[in-house]
Amino acid sequence: MTSENTERNILIRYSENINPDKLFTPFMYVHNQYGYDVKSIYRKIVTQSLLDLGNFPDTFPHTISEYYWIQEGAPMKNSWIALGSLKNGIYFYYTAFTDNAGGNFALNGHMNLWVSTRYSDLIQFAMDSETYKKYMNETKE
């Protein structure tokens, strides 16, 4: 862990304008038939044991309870990002990117899902520095 990570604000912060529709494109690909079942995009955080996220259809993203921050992505330009909590009280951090100009994740896409019982783990261990800065600029406590 770098010294920068130890200085991060680990309190839950909220964006003023949350629009889950901005995640429609990548979320429609979170399914086994497209190669993005939840188990394949789940990334383990060092401090956390593996968590059970359920099975389709009772799994991410269908079990999202609340969003704290959403970044709308654009194919070949920037990632879709979502941070929030699931119905079982677990926190999640999701990223998705595609090199396909049409937004087809089945062709050159990539997704990550980190989950934790501690919100602070997502901020400190899953979120990169550039994303953290954007998150801090676009959210409030």
In a domain? residue 4: no
Kindly report the CA angle at 51 between 115 and 58, in degrees rounded to 5?
85
In a domain? residue 115: yes
Instruction: List the pLDDT tens digit at each of the 141 positions of the chain.
Output: 444 445 899 999 999 989 999 999 999 999 988 989 999 999 999 777 778 888 888 999 999 999 999 999 999 999 999 999 999 999 999 999 999 999 999 989 999 999 999 999 999 999 999 999 999 999 999
In a domain? residue 112: yes
In a domain? residue 105: yes
In a domain? residue 32: yes
The pLDDT, as a whole number, for residue 6 is 59
Which pTM does this prediction carry? 0.92
In a domain? residue 64: yes
Nearest to 25 by CA among 101, 132, 113, 139: 101
In a domain? residue 8: no
The pLDDT, as a whole number, for residue 5 is 46
In a domain? residue 128: yes
- Give the domain range for residue 42: 17-138
Number of domains present in the structure of the chain: 1
Query: What gap in Å lies between CA 87 and CA 64, rounded to an integer?
Result: 6
* Sequence-separated (6 or more) residues with CB below 8 Å from residue 140: 13, 14, 16
